[in-house]
Structure 1
Amino acid sequence: MTSEFAALQAIGWPLAAGETWPAGAPDWQQAWRDLMAAHPQSRPARVVEQHRSGYVVADGPDQTFPVESLPEWQRPSGFRKGTVTIEQRPGVGDWLLVESRKAVALLPRHSTIKRAAAGEHYQQQLIAANVDTVFVVCGLDADFNPRRIERYLLLVRGGGVEPVVVLTKADQTQDVSDALAALVELAAQEVAVRAVNAKDAQSILTLAPWLQPGRTAVLVGSSGAGKSTLTNTLLGVERMKTSAVRESDSRGRHTTTYRALIPLPSGACLIDTPGMRELKPTGEEDVAENFSDVEALAEQCKFRDCRHEREPGCVVRAAIEAGKLDPQRFANYLKLRDEVAGAAGRLANRRAQKADEKVQGKAPNKYGKR
């Protein structure tokens, strides 16, 4: 049993051999314990790859195998859009209970990274589950965009995960200090920022505090930002395919085509993800947490409902005019605030619709049974 737990720990299992969760443990830990007791013949395994045809799971760093999924996780032909929610269907990073290579239960998540899916209907898309750290990767070339970093942070921090901004290609520019200055507001929010050469193992040692044994980190960022290069350097081998970026705009092709969880030599796990071009909020994000500097200024305005345009006594406009608040950061704050509010409305409507469908499904037929 000791060797089994050691293998599980190498892919992020939170307990060592012989350890038990203490009284008063978080709800997810108690739910794990109860589910494992209900399935005594099962063993834990972690989803390391998710494909259209099913899942690949692991019960150790070098032990992967496909599993059959439960019927409620499958999407039958002609399924109604939104029938299978991300709460019901596993994703990379999830823990399953497995018996005879069949998944029998999905263990509750302690953290999630998700976004709203593209399309007219409201849906959420899971990026990764049960992670401790999100590395928001951005290249120090034409890919560098503080406003996009702010958008990533908005989505990440809503999932209960610690964000770290990783600026790659530090060896290709003389403007590292300028980039760090452009992100100075993040320091006040206790968001770590690290500039690295993703090809240099010595340079990325600065990320070691977030890659300790038992920890799980996920890489997010646009195509060409250097996520796969960073993964290869952390592994010490060329496992992930990489390609050159376009010189015109530093954009890369999608060399990573699916999410994959990879054990690292440090004892941590890393989830590499395809580049994401569309980052729509789910409506569950906290804009105030991500723009605490703007919110603090707004509280000092003369009018409670100040729109921060031309109102007398507007502290926000004064800060912009005095050079104390980046006008582009403020414009992004307004944009994201409106997007989150709109998504929250769609989420509320979706939940109300599902609740109504559930009530109607339970309502007795007024004409009696046929």
Structure 2
Amino acid sequence: MLEFLDFEALRSIGLRAPILQQLNTLMLDPAVRLMRVVELQREHLLLHDGQALARGRLDHALIRLLDSGDDAVAVGDWVLGRPDPPLGWRVVDRLTPSTQLSRRTNDGRGSPQRQVLVANVDAALLVMGLDHDFNLRRLERYLALVRLAGIAAALVLTKADQAEPSLMARRIEQASGCVPEGTPVFALDGRDPASAAALAPWLVAGQTLVLLGSSGAGKSTLTNTLTGQALQYTGPVRDDDSRGRHTTTTRTLHRTPSGACIIDTPGLRALRLDVGDEQQLQQVFGDIARWATACRFRNCRHQEEPGCAVRAEVAPERVRNFHKLQREAKRDTLTALEKREVVSQWKARGRAAAQRIRAKRSG
């Protein structure tokens, strides 16, 4: 198939070696085209072949195949399409992504469901405002999200033009202490063209970056600045909490003048990590994993045990957040029977507490 590809055009939308290696194993006719998913809509998706945008629809067989593996096509995926006039293109296959960012959502019946956010990204820019949006516990969740996916990250603190110098310095120090060692921290005005120069080392040709953060953090404003175009609509934030109004409603891939690709994303109202087990979570909290080896007990839970090095060396708020994420991960991996047992235990505890209260009142 390689002889039919326009490599220069495909590199301009982020074609990388892992995808090329997969293509070497395929034998397809010239009618099949390699394209990248740049946006998902309810009824169709937008595809790009490096030269032009086109509409497409997923083949039903591909949807069933991905559903069976708890998977889905996402913005950033590389797919194979066949001409399907007058609809445009029919997507018949999805190449295995080199990376995926995913979270757990509720399916409406109380069961967690995996949702793929983006695919084939090389790095993440974690965007957080220096205003009321600043939240270290939420930052820890986003850091865990990208580290679970094996993706490099940089922290971008926006609205530096609106922050008092003393407040900005304090929050930069707090954020720097929260991120893993070596993670770059930028404080900038997302509207200033100088932001593109500051982030230039991350905007290398062929790289794909995803912007992650809450609504109102300034992701779309930064996207417009980095692309040099007003591609994304931006709106005001509330004065009381600096939260936005979800002006960005879809994940969209854009190209920058430097040749990098950027995926702008809506703010996530809830971010439950897609974690397989508690040990996996501990590894992404590097400082906790490091100090855990110094605990007195090998099976220390870092709660009430004596001689816990983690509680002695790590900030209490961070340890509490780690325990909260652990509980979420455990709930998401429970079977239906185990969930019923947990509910029964909580009900029994509630009845016992009510009986103790009545006994005290009557006594």
Partner of 1:14: 16
Letter in 2 for 1:69: L
Identify the match of residue 292 of structure 1 among 274, 282, 286.
Answer: 286
Letter in 2 for 1:181: E
Partner of 2:308: 314
**Residues 209, 276 of structure 1: CA spacing in aligned structure 2 closer, same or farther, 3 A cutoff?**
same
Identify the match of residue 139 of structure 2 among 146, 149, 162.
Answer: 149
Identify the match of residue 98 of structure 2 among 107, 110, 114.
Answer: 110
Alignment check: 8 A CA contact 2:143 2:179 kept = no
Number of matched residues? 323
Alignment check: 8 A CA contact 1:72 1:84 kept = no
**Residues 230, 313 of structure 1: CA spacing in aligned structure 2 closer, same or farther, 3 A cutoff?**
same
Letter in 2 for 1:10: S
Instruction: Show the 5 A alignment for 1:326-345.
Output: 326-345=315-334
Alignment check: 8 A CA contact 2:100 2:116 kept = yes
**Residues 342, 295 of structure 1: CA spacing in aligned structure 2 closer, same or farther, 3 A cutoff?**
same
Unaligned runs of 5+ in 1: 16-25, 76-81, 320-324, 350-370
Identify the match of residue 96 of structure 1 among 64, 79, 83.
Answer: 79
Partner of 1:130: 120
Letter in 2 for 1:211: L
Partner of 2:268: 276
- Determine the C-alpha separation between the residues in 1 that align with 2:302 and 2:82: 59
**Residues 168, 216 of structure 1: CA spacing in aligned structure 2 closer, same or farther, 3 A cutoff?**
same
Partner of 2:341: none
- Determine the C-alpha separation between the residues in 2 that align with 1:99 and 1:305: 55
Q: Which has the higher helix share?
A: 2
User: How far 1:186 sits from its partner (Å)?
Assistant: 4.4
Alignment check: 8 A CA contact 1:213 1:266 kept = yes
Partner of 1:251: 243
- Determine the C-alpha separation between the residues in 2 that align with 1:99 and 1:212: 31
**Residues 346, 233 of structure 1: CA spacing in aligned structure 2 closer, same or farther, 3 A cutoff?**
farther
**Residues 4, 312 of structure 1: CA spacing in aligned structure 2 closer, same or farther, 3 A cutoff?**
closer
- Determine the C-alpha separation between the residues in 2 that align with 1:309 and 1:198: 41
Alignment check: 8 A CA contact 1:264 1:270 kept = yes
Partner of 2:344: none
C-alpha RMSD of matched pairs (Å): 2.4
TM normalised by structure 2 equals 0.82
SS for the counterpart of 1:247 is coil
- Determine the C-alpha separation between the residues in 2 that align with 1:134 and 1:187: 13
**Residues 216, 257 of structure 1: CA spacing in aligned structure 2 closer, same or farther, 3 A cutoff?**
same
User: How far 1:226 sits from its partner (Å)?
Assistant: 0.1
Alignment check: 8 A CA contact 2:136 2:178 kept = no
Letter in 2 for 1:259: R
SS for the counterpart of 2:170 is helix
User: How far 1:4 sits from its partner (Å)?
Assistant: 2.4
- Determine the C-alpha separation between the residues in 1 that align with 2:184 and 2:327: 27
- Determine the C-alpha separation between the residues in 1 that align with 2:111 and 2:33: 37
Alignment check: 8 A CA contact 2:195 2:225 kept = no
SS for the counterpart of 1:329 is helix
Partner of 2:343: none
User: How far 1:74 sits from its partner (Å)?
Assistant: 4.8
User: How far 1:157 sits from its partner (Å)?
Assistant: 1.4
- Determine the C-alpha separation between the residues in 2 that align with 1:295 and 1:303: 14
Instruction: Show the 5 A alignment for 1:1-370.
Output: 4-14=6-16, 30-35=21-26, 37-60=27-50, 63-74=52-63, 83=67, 87=71, 89-100=72-83, 101-119=89-107, 120-173=110-163, 174=165, 175-186=167-178, 188-284=180-276, 286-319=280-313, 325-345=314-334
Alignment check: 8 A CA contact 1:196 1:203 kept = yes
Q: Could you give the per-residue CA deviations for residues 63-102 of structure 1, whole angstroms, max 9, x where no partner exists?
A: 1010232113458xxxxxx956553x32110111122222
- Determine the C-alpha separation between the residues in 2 that align with 1:276 and 1:211: 24
- Determine the C-alpha separation between the residues in 2 that align with 1:310 and 1:187: 26
Alignment check: 8 A CA contact 2:144 2:285 kept = no
**Residues 200, 8 of structure 1: CA spacing in aligned structure 2 closer, same or farther, 3 A cutoff?**
same
Letter in 1 for 2:150: G
User: How far 1:126 sits from its partner (Å)?
Assistant: 1.1
User: How far 1:247 sits from its partner (Å)?
Assistant: 0.3
Alignment check: 8 A CA contact 1:95 1:106 kept = yes
- Determine the C-alpha separation between the residues in 2 that align with 1:301 and 1:73: 49
Percent of aligned pairs with the same amino acid? 41
- Determine the C-alpha separation between the residues in 2 that align with 1:33 and 1:345: 41
SS for the counterpart of 1:114 is strand
